[in-house]
Amino acid sequence: MIARIYVNLKRDVSDPQGNAVKGALESLAFKGVEKVHVGKYFVIELDDMRRDQAESLVKAMCEKLLTNPVIEDYSYVIEK
Amino acid sequence: MKKVKFGVVIFPGSNCDMDCVHVLRDVLGQETLELWHKERNLQDCECIVLPGGFSYGDYLRTGAIARFSPIMEAVTAHVKTGKPVIGICNGFQILCEAGLLPGALIRNRSLRFICKPVHIKVETKNTPFTNFTKKVLTLPIAHGEGNYFIHAEGLKDLKDQDQIVFRYCDAGGKVTPESNPNGALDNIAGIVNKERNVLGMMPHPERCSERILGGIDGKHIFQSIIHTFTGQI
């Protein structure tokens, strides 16, 4: 099983990296970019288990270690 | 004269630990232990120091892995008994990740690692870390993630409870946007917890405790702690 976890800064946390990337894209003449958010992406290979077990495990790992809930939100996708 | 027993925790990747040990042991003559992060016993240390550096290479997030080091259980228990802890730079980051201080330290607004002396205003003398300092201190900073952040309700709490200890300011002690090196919310450079026994600060007092290194404003912070325990300087 594969868990793909997407971590982003919360909306009210400043993202200078995102702004810098947006500026770089604009300077390379890419048009139509309104905003850039830079986040993290984890790919975790899990043992085979029930889907609900995998979800509980992923949530627990996110909340305990993989994210800082003060400044980050997360979402995930689990594939068999 | 009574000596205070300090414990300086060393995580893999800490690099300011020996500077802290040198100031406490050699400059201030206090009993100072070096505590490896795997130890579970603080050996009756009265004040714990979490030093600066790059614990665990800043992997995942700064301080995110160090906060789970075995010694942090004992440090948390030490905090609960009301004894002091001072977290410097990476130490501040570890304390926030561990939930021993509110808020978080994020990437500097400029995205640059900044290494230079700054002025900080001592906003409250009502802590064991600032009862013997001047009003404005000059200390070096050296960090890429010193931008303090907390949500609006948390900031109101910090202000209401007088928990903001240091703010970046100009040489005259005026808190201005120009004197903010990293974008930190409200120019915050250091805070204490509600119980006032845990201090987190981004500038480095241990690099500024001997005149030969350019100043001794940092020494006064350690001397405040000693004064709290012994009534002496």
Between CA A18 and CA A35 the distance in angstroms is 8
**Alpha-carbon distances of A1 from A7, A49, A52, A63, B125, rounded to whole Å:** 19, 8, 12, 20, 55
Cut 0.80: pTM above it? yes
Q: Is B204 a catalytic residue?
A: yes
Low-confidence ranges of chain B (pLDDT < 50): none
What is the nearest CA distance from B6 to chain A, expressed in angstroms?
A: 29
Compare CB distances from A16 to B64, B96, B111 and report the shortest one's residue: B111
Low-confidence ranges of chain A (pLDDT < 50): none
Contact status, residue B127 vs residue B196, Cβ threshold 8 Å: yes
Provide, for chain B, the percentages of residues in helix, strand and coil under a 3-state DSSP scheme, each rounded to the nearest 5. 30, 25, 45
Q: Which residues 1-60 in chain A show a CB within 8 A of chain B?
A: 9, 12-14, 16-17, 20
DSSP B181-196: SS--GGGEEEEE-TTS
CB contact under 8 A, A16 and B107: yes
What's the topology of domain B5-230? Answer: Rossmann fold (3.40.50)
Supply the pLDDT for residue B118: 98
Complex-level ipTM: 0.91
The ranges assigned to domains in chain B are 5-230
Pick the CATH number of A2-79 from 3.30.2290.10, 3.40.50.300, 3.65.10.10, 3.30.1280.10: 3.30.1280.10
Supply the pLDDT for residue A80: 87
Supply the pLDDT for residue B233: 64
| Chain-centroid distance, C-alpha B230 | 21
Q: Which residues pair with B201 in a beta bridge?
A: B88, B190
Q: Is A65 on the interface with B (CB under 8 A)?
A: yes
